[in-house]
């Protein structure tokens, strides 16, 4: 019951807060915010309590590997967004995530090697993300009143469906599916519809920057869950993620300022 309450409360609060942050500080900040393991982290915590540290550690390793699937989603969505509407683009991103997940289900790597591959993939994805020169600089239309409530309902429904079947999937597959970029997908789609591909790219770039901390969180969990208490493992993982997330926010602000400077010159 505690897990259900967590899903019903935390999911809409998170997507609502991220949506408001996107309206206040821009889509990149909303993407950065939803990269925090604010849902997958608590779910991992309850998995450890209900099924033991070994089960939770295996799921955490799967979630770490699933960061690669998130990266595939971001690249597929952004590249296709330059020439297609949000529906086709979202479908392509989901297919990229699914293909990467299927491949990772049958690929087992040493933990530290996996982490290094994830970090390299994130850095490469940031380098490959197309720029915003193809996008109109017109002022965005104000969102309708149902905008944020719709995002919250969609996000909560999806989380309930996904986590409801997760125990039957086993720790590896459940961990791989857990990092599906639900929040980022919703934010990117709404940004795409209301503001164009450049706004969606901002969400995805913010997500990619934040995923360095996400990956570090689950690396720490995988290493510590079977070697320390559950409380200590999550405390160390949380401190590590928050420290790296602060650094990624600084990089995000620097990138935003550079882009704003280029637009002001043109």
Q: Which are the contacts of 158, defined by CB distance < 8 A and separation ≥ 6?
A: 182
* pLDDT of the residue at 266: 46
What's the predicted TM-score (pTM) here? 0.79
Structure tokens at 115: 């982490």
- Write out the two tokens for 22: 């996107």
**The predicted structure's pLDDT at residue 139:** 46
Angstrom distance (rounded) from CA 211 to CA 208:
5
Identify the band that residue 153 occupies on the pLDDT scale cut at 50, 70 and 90: confident
Q: What pLDDT is stored for residue 255 in this prediction?
A: 61
What is the spatial distance between Cα 153 and Cα 82, in angstroms, rounded to a whole number? 28
CA neighbor of 22 nearest in space, from 93, 14, 46, 97: 14
Domain-wise residue ranges, the chain: 2-265
| Dihedral-angle region of residue 209 (phi above 0 means left; psi in -120 to 50 means alpha; beta otherwise) | alpha
C-alpha 103: how far from its chain's center?
19
pLDDT for residue 187? 81
**Tokens representing 162?**
């996904």
Interhelix angle 53-81/197-224, nearest 10 degrees: 160
pLDDT in tens, 45-72: 878 888 889 999 999 999 999 999 999 9
pLDDT tens digits, one per residue of 3-51: 677 677 777 887 777 767 766 776 667 677 777 787 778 778 878 888 8
Identify which has the larger pLDDT, 84 or 176.
176
Mean pLDDT of the chain: 82
Question: Which structure tokens are listed for 247?
Answer: 């650094």
Cβ atoms of 218 and 61 closer than 8 Å: yes
Q: Report pLDDT digits (tens) over 207-259.
A: 898 899 999 999 999 999 999 999 999 999 999 998 888 877 766 666 655 55
Higher pLDDT, 33 or 139: 33
Q: How many CB atoms lie within 10 A of CB 119?
A: 16
**Residue 113, number of CB atoms within 10 A of its CB:** 9
Length in residues, the chain: 266
Tokens linked to 68: 């690669």
User: For 10-26, what is the HEC assignment?
Assistant: HHHHHHHHHHHHHHHHC
């Amino acid at each position: 019951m505690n897990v259900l309450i967590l899903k019903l409360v935390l999911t809409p609060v998170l997507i609502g807060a991220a949506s408001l942050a996107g309206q206040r500080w821009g889509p990149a900040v909303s993407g950065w915010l939803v990269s925090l393991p604010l849902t997958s982290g608590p779910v991992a915590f309850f998995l450890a309590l209900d099924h033991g540290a070994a089960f939770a550690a295996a799921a955490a390793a799967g979630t770490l590997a699933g960061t690669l699937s998130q990266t595939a989603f971001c690249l597929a969505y952004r590249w296709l967004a330059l020439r297609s509407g949000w529906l086709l683009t979202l479908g392509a991103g989901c297919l990229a995530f699914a293909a990467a997940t299927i491949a990772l289900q049958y690929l087992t790597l040493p933990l530290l090697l996996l982490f290094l591959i994830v970090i390299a993939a994130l850095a490469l994805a940031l380098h490959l993300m197309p720029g915003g020169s193809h996008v109109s600089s017109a002022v965005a239309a104000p969102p309708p009143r149902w905008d944020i409530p719709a995002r919250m309902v969609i996000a909560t429904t999806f989380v309930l469906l996904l986590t409801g079947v997760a125990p039957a999937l086993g720790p590896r597959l459940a961990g791989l599916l857990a990092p599906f970029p639900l929040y980022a997908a919703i934010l990117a789609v709404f940004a795409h519809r209301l503001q164009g591909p450049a706004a969606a790219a901002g969400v995805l770039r913010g997500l990619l920057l934040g995923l360095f901390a996400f990956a570090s969180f689950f690396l720490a969990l995988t290493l510590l869950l079977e070697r320390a208490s559950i409380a200590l493992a999550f405390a160390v993982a949380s401190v590590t993620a928050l420290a790296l997330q602060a650094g990624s926010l600084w990089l995000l602000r620097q990138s935003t300022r550079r882009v704003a400077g280029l637009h002001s010159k043109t």
